[in-house]
Structure 1
């Protein structure tokens, strides 16, 4: 083998198996999963991951955290092993920009699925485009969440971030506030369909405002992880499929996690995908080809090793 190539491989492939790395496999320890607050998708996905880990002999526990930002802080400092986070929030963690205090040493095991931004208004609302929110009261999600981040960026892109009254409410509280006309609109970034918004459509007529015109500005100013997506009309009994902003959600770990442990955890994601799908149908979107696209988070070397090995084996 050529000396330069050998050196590169030694750096990129520190070992060929967890045992060869001298690192503990997952079953040799416990797994702490930061799942955000409430009972949303992250929580259900985390419960599925915990079941997978327990079946592999680990002691696994799901931790309720204040937000996705808090989950990223916890994996960076080692008080949690894995966390769920949207790419835009992860980019701020890497850069050490608010809501983070200093750069967070985090990487990813896999890209999981895409989250879709909803801007929900009553069917009889005069809000037909983002600038129409000027002077109105808007629920933008709780602090440190992907919803709050993308909502804040969209309002700024429309030039009205100083011209709305913000209520920092979780999606269920925001849906109740919209139904009672205490807010004029709500933002939510998450899976389609959202249970809270589905229930809202049964309680009152709603519309989803088209946000497609703002994907370009978000990509230019914040990152190309933002993508244009469409919310299927059938998801909420709509007349049309509004364009919106999509952002990937990743499974994050601390960069200091041993390579063997990261490799073994990544292997479990795919070997027990059926358990994850039973917990949350979004796990159907987990596939090896897409999972490696974890930007802006770097792919953990242990996870990269798993993907290289599975590609050779496949």
Structure 2
């Protein structure tokens, strides 16, 4: 029995349940393979686990995958992580959450406040810092940062220990849903799309793009436009072509099962799965997309 590990994220996000679904369809449909989803601090750590051989498949945001491929940012000392993409899964939405009594309605209002910028070793941390910088704030001196995961950030906000928190995830993100449905609390999400032009100047035209969180998702008073970034499912370049092909095939053939586990799996399509990866696709995945006439070299 070949055992493979899927590095996901915190239990309050989307990566963890989505990864659990992928582990299930792999274990049930590929003979001789048993897959397990592991809760982690998400993108940065996932890629480190991938290179160290502790994980075989990793969820990660596109900007973190690029940093890892170039040994940039949090990978400067760790070194390059040569990953290969199976699919671009869905967009992550930058949630910047606060509550009504903090007086925060824009990113500029975070100056002098206590803000959670995501778990150490998460893609949220990278994106939060980049968004603050593009909005004219220095994350080291203009705000007091706490490094908390999604669920811990919600608890800290409810307890008045932080004024706001960043979390980048799919829709809905369980921890944010918990916050917006807490009795006696009026939660707010803050727009971040104004930071995108500066982020594009620094990190390229295609990495960040505006996405809309519809008000119905979290029972908000209005839609909120925020920073979007693609989520990738990546593997080690040493994965066999056959295994990479079969995993990619199952993402599509068993999509209904994945949607039943988390609705974000609805966003996967042949047209979008092949667009937006900063690293090459695995040859096994390319074989599947080519068979389906979806590959765009």
Same fold (TM > 0.5): yes
1:55 equivalenced with 2:36 (yes/no):
no
- CA displacement at 1:108 relative to structure 2: 0.5
Q: Is the 8 A contact 1:76 1:255 kept in 2?
A: no
1:263 equivalenced with 2:245 (yes/no):
yes
Structure 1 residue aligned with 2:16: 43
Q: Is the 8 A contact 1:227 1:245 kept in 2?
A: yes
SS at match of 1:290: helix
- Match among 141, 151, 154 for residue 172 of structure 1: 151
RMSD: 1.7
The separation in 2 between residues aligned to 1:195 and 1:29, in whole angstroms, is 32
The separation in 2 between residues aligned to 1:36 and 1:239, in whole angstroms, is 29
SS at match of 1:207: strand
The separation in 2 between residues aligned to 1:232 and 1:66, in whole angstroms, is 27
Q: Is the 8 A contact 1:225 1:295 kept in 2?
A: no
For these two proteins, the number of residue pairs brought into alignment is: 285
Name whichever of 102-111 and 223-232 sits farther off: 223-232
SS at match of 1:30: strand
SS at match of 2:50: helix
5+ long unaligned stretches in structure 2: none
1:221 equivalenced with 2:202 (yes/no):
yes
Which has the higher Rg, Structure 1 or Structure 2? 1
Q: Is the 8 A contact 1:130 1:155 kept in 2?
A: yes
User: What's the TM-score once normalised by structure 2's chain length?
Assistant: 0.90
User: What's the TM-score once normalised by structure 1's chain length?
Assistant: 0.86
5+ long unaligned stretches in structure 1: 1-27
- CA displacement at 1:32 relative to structure 2: 1.9
The separation in 2 between residues aligned to 1:192 and 1:47, in whole angstroms, is 17
Name whichever of 293-302 and 227-236 sits farther off: 293-302
Q: Is the 8 A contact 1:33 1:80 kept in 2?
A: yes
- CA displacement at 1:284 relative to structure 2: 1.1
Q: Is the 8 A contact 1:90 1:296 kept in 2?
A: yes
The separation in 1 between residues aligned to 2:39 and 2:217, in whole angstroms, is 29
Q: Is the 8 A contact 1:33 1:63 kept in 2?
A: yes
The structure with the largest helix share of the pair is: 1
Structure 2 residue aligned with 1:135: 112
- CA displacement at 1:61 relative to structure 2: 2.0
- CA displacement at 1:68 relative to structure 2: 2.1
Structure 1 residue aligned with 2:172: 193
The separation in 2 between residues aligned to 1:37 and 1:197, in whole angstroms, is 13
1:72 equivalenced with 2:53 (yes/no):
no
Q: Is the 8 A contact 2:91 2:231 kept in 1?
A: yes
Q: Deviations over 1:156-197 (max 9, x none)?
A: 112222210001111111111111211111111112222222
SS at match of 2:227: strand
- CA displacement at 1:60 relative to structure 2: 1.8
Structure 2 residue aligned with 1:85: 60
